[in-house]
Amino acid sequence: MNLRAAWVALAPTALAISGSACAREKPPRPVQPNPSAVFAAEIAFNRLAREEGQWTAFRETAADDAVMFVPQQVNAKTWLKDRANPPAPVQWQPYRIYVSCDGRTAASTGAWQLPDGSAGYFTTIWRLDDKDEWRWVLDHGDALKQPLAPQDAVKGRVATCKRGERSRDGVKPGERPVDQSLMWDYVVGDDASRAVRVRMWNGEGYDLVIDDKVAAS
């Protein structure tokens, strides 16, 4: 299986995993939330796939704990190790980008295409590492009977800050509250079906901004 897309689905049974912008005991310094920076990471990721090979690009940009689905859930670094690149890589375009209040977690979603004419959608969860480099922690997608309509521009949105999340002068890094403004989770079924959801704080509650559901393979 060599496409970005054969990687999602739904069935609320076997496994549920969740994440947020903040699963660290000592949250790192906040950065300015910037959808354009995530877009730049996506463009660099895509360019690396064209120039160096699809799985090379996935391997070099993945976080150590990144997961993907083939269709079973796997650790990305383990599955990608020494894996040969397909002759032609998948191509993709992010359409929407969501960023947490502290600027350290993001979700992108958009369209992909293969040289054989097949097409679909993808969703990627991104996280800034300790060197402030974007690494993907979850990547999945699915094929569509009809390709997504092209978009002229990428739409970006930044989560509203929850009380106390944005740093203040004089606050030590270890004392900074965790950021729960962008939350994501996924559910994996025994039949390899999955669901991926992303929620964003709007000041009063969470908006469900991504809700991907794909049946078993």
15 or 155, which is more confident? Answer: 155
CATH number of residue 55's parent domain = 3.10.450.50
Task: Tell me, yes or no, whether 106 lies in a domain.
Answer: yes
Residues 58-66: contacts with CB under 8 Å, at least 24 apart:
58/139, 59/83, 61/134, 61/135, 61/136, 62/135, 62/136, 62/137, 63/127, 63/129, 63/135, 63/136, 63/137, 65/137, 66/135, 66/136, 66/137, 66/138, 66/139
Task: Tell me, yes or no, whether 1 lies in a domain.
Answer: no
At 177 the pLDDT is 59
At 109 the pLDDT is 98
Distance CA(7)–CA(70), nearest Å, equals: 6
Task: Tell me, yes or no, whether 168 lies in a domain.
Answer: yes
Percent of the chain with pLDDT over 90: 74
Percent of the chain with pLDDT over 70: 79
The residue with tokens 């690396």 is 48
Span 161-204, pLDDT tens digits: 987 544 444 444 444 457 899 999 999 999 999 999 999 999 99
Query: For 105-114, what is the mean pLDDT?
Result: 98
At 31 the pLDDT is 83
pTM for the structure as a whole = 0.83
Task: Tell me, yes or no, whether 65 lies in a domain.
Answer: yes
Task: Tell me, yes or no, whether 10 lies in a domain.
Answer: no
Task: Tell me, yes or no, whether 63 lies in a domain.
Answer: yes
At 172 the pLDDT is 47
Question: What total of structural domains would you count in the chain?
Answer: 1
The answer, yes or no, to whether residue 99 has pLDDT greater than 70, is yes
The answer, yes or no, to whether residue 45 has pLDDT greater than 70, is yes
Query: Average per-residue pLDDT in the chain?
Result: 85
At 162 the pLDDT is 85
Task: Tell me, yes or no, whether 6 lies in a domain.
Answer: no
Task: Tell me, yes or no, whether 175 lies in a domain.
Answer: yes
Structural domain containing residue 19 = 15-214
Span 117-145, pLDDT tens digits: 999 999 999 999 999 999 999 999 999 99
